[in-house]
Structure 1
Amino acid sequence: MSTWPDVVALELLVAVADHGSLAAGARAVGMAQPNASRSMARLERTLGVTLLHRSTRGSTLTPDGLVVTEWARAVVDAAQRLADGVSLLAHDASRSAPLRVSASQTVAEHLLPRWLADLRREHPESRVQVTVHNSHDVVQDVRAGTANVGFIESPGSPAGLHHAVVARDELVLVVPPQHPWAGRRDPVTTAELATTALVTREEGSGTRTALDLALGRPAMSLLELPSNAAVRVSVQSGAAPAVLSRLAVDEAVAAGTLVKVRTQRHLARELRALWGGPRRTQGLAADLIAVAQRSAPATAAAL
């Protein structure tokens, strides 16, 4: 064998063994299945060994593949130790640099301040720079390397980035007290919501993306506004109903300036941390993600 096997392909091979199929292994390592199939084919050509038994029911390891997998585990573990060690060295070399965080509006307004306060208590010397965007732009920040870690509200996980669920949120339908739906007893159906002009967040925001996905079509937007606060004020003024994070409307509902209306479909979503580079985060980024995850039960308790 004249060339070294691809470590990423070996990691995929180990994931296939651990998860039972090529499809499941690909999901575990965050790789699209067509790319996973090509990666395994290249690995087989490099090694000169058939690793997978392919059938219409999926791809599983051959006996030779099982043997190679056990050898591959040591290589993958060593590569992970190398990546972690280099990452720690890089962190030590730049420990005076601030942690760059990019966060979506709902996270930045209602969750991140508490997370950063907890992080500060654990690391009094830490410095953090925060940029607030919609979820689409947060992803771009992390991909471009201008943020060490990002927090988004949009459903799913962007390709090419590592992610972890840090909290769960609920989207709620709100109207002003004088709206006909304010005293409604039966829930608003998904069909009604889809055909009602709403005050919405802009395209690219996690709230808008989650709403469009729940409706199965783009929401009918009477007004499209760039912040939760602007949407909330517009609804309070009587413009139209809106669907916003519970976190963004709880105070207004408690004060009686907005009324929460039941919907036929429960609109829940996951809030995620995103990062590039090694699969396991290091330093302040890892600590901030851990703080967010520890805070998650309180975030979800009211759902």
Structure 2
Amino acid sequence: MSPSPTRSLSHRVPDLGALELLLAVARHGSLGRAAREVGITQPAASSRIRSMERLLGVALVDRSPRGSRLTDAGALVTDWARRVVEAAEAFDAGAQALRDRRDSRLRVAASMTIAEYLLPGWLIALRAARPGTAVSLQAGNSAAVAELLLAGEADLGYVEGLAVPEGLDGAVVARDRLVVVAAAAHPWARRRRPIAPAELASAALVLREYGSGTRQVLDAALADHGGLAEPLLELASTTAVKAAAVTGAGPAVLSELAVTEELASRRLVEVPVADVSLTRALRAVWPTGPLPAGPARDLLSLAGGSAS
């Protein structure tokens, strides 16, 4: 004869709310006062006690005009209930401690353009919302950001590439446009007609390194036009690329966010490009799975993230 199926524990044990009500009845000797303590009506309390009695198969409370008294079985169940509730309170306190520890710090990794031009404002807003959260920031290219997240060394990342890196989920937080810029004395700054994609691809440019989001977008945009020629200079930061362009080393391709002041002051001039799209999405990213919790979720919300 095969054994009968076993019901799960949740179907055989009263829920915490019912056990807390029983403990309140034991303290007050009154179902009405117990109901008020746990924040429900007396009819609801009576119904909950009856449901618990049916579940356990024993009478727990004797009701009379003088009040409510625990039966012998009710007194025994109350002793057990007290231990269950105390254990649940310990569980809740431990879980809260874990949440407090999680919420006390936030490790952010961001690609260079986002780290320099967008993230500071978001972090100021986060500090106003969560003054007790300590934030650490590591800046690098988009590939490095993905590596930090996958290694568990960052809670939330920001990247500039064409797509969400493998192993991560993401949300678009901003849109950006890459621009070709040159110093005012460079011949490109005096052109009247836009540069053709093939000419841009064949030119010696000052560029970010492989692995950067800027380089990924530019490589993809010019792949059908011969691909990028050997760079004049290949540098590891937006600031370095911009400085080289300002000094006249050669034309550069940078985020529009990074050159706003230089374009306004004419230290750099934007060079129009024909028939090629250099726009991109800037994304928050995190390891594949649920949305980040705690301060990481708050920072994502402040940045206006929408799942993508």
Shared fold (TM-score greater than 0.5)? Answer: yes
Counterpart of 1:181 (choices 165, 185, 188) is 188
- Relative to structure 1, the CA distance from residue 292 to residue 221 in structure 2 (aligned partners, 3 Å threshold; closer, same or farther) is same
**1:130 to partner: Cα distance:** 0.5
Distance 1:186 1:223 in 2: 25
Distance 1:159 1:197 in 2: 31
Tell me if structure 1 keeps the 8 A contact 2:126–2:298.
yes
* 1:125-156 residue CA offsets vs partner (Å, 9 max, x unmatched): 22111011111100000000100000001111
**1:205 to partner: Cα distance:** 0.9
Give 5+ residue unaligned stretches, structure 1.
Answer: 1-84, 297-303
Distance 1:284 1:242 in 2: 37
Tell me if structure 1 keeps the 8 A contact 2:110–2:158.
yes
Tell me if structure 2 keeps the 8 A contact 1:212–1:219.
no
The letter of the residue matching 1:276 is: P
- Relative to structure 1, the CA distance from residue 260 to residue 161 in structure 2 (aligned partners, 3 Å threshold; closer, same or farther) is same
Equivalent in the alignment of 1:201: 208
- Relative to structure 1, the CA distance from residue 152 to residue 134 in structure 2 (aligned partners, 3 Å threshold; closer, same or farther) is same
- Number of aligned positions between the proteins: 209
**1:95 to partner: Cα distance:** 3.2
* 1:210-234 residue CA offsets vs partner (Å, 9 max, x unmatched): 1111111245301011111111111
Distance 1:263 1:163 in 2: 30
**1:266 to partner: Cα distance:** 3.1
Whether 2:139 is the aligned partner of 1:129: answer: no
Distance 1:145 1:219 in 2: 36
Larger-gyration structure (1/2): 2
Q: Percent of pairs identical after alignment? A: 47
Map residues 110-125 of structure 1 onto 2, 5 A cutoff. 110-125=117-132
SS class of match (1:234): helix
Counterpart of 1:145 (choices 122, 144, 152) is 152
Give 5+ residue unaligned stretches, structure 2.
Answer: 1-91
- Relative to structure 1, the CA distance from residue 143 to residue 90 in structure 2 (aligned partners, 3 Å threshold; closer, same or farther) is farther
TM-score, normalisation: structure 1? 0.65
Counterpart of 2:286 (choices 275, 282, 285) is 275
**1:89 to partner: Cα distance:** 6.3
CA RMSD across the alignment? 2.0
- Relative to structure 1, the CA distance from residue 219 to residue 275 in structure 2 (aligned partners, 3 Å threshold; closer, same or farther) is farther
**1:277 to partner: Cα distance:** 5.4
Equivalent in the alignment of 2:303: 292
The letter of the residue matching 2:167 is: G
Equivalent in the alignment of 1:226: 236
Whether 2:259 is the aligned partner of 1:240: answer: no
Distance 2:185 2:231 in 1: 20
SS class of match (1:94): helix
- Relative to structure 1, the CA distance from residue 90 to residue 153 in structure 2 (aligned partners, 3 Å threshold; closer, same or farther) is farther
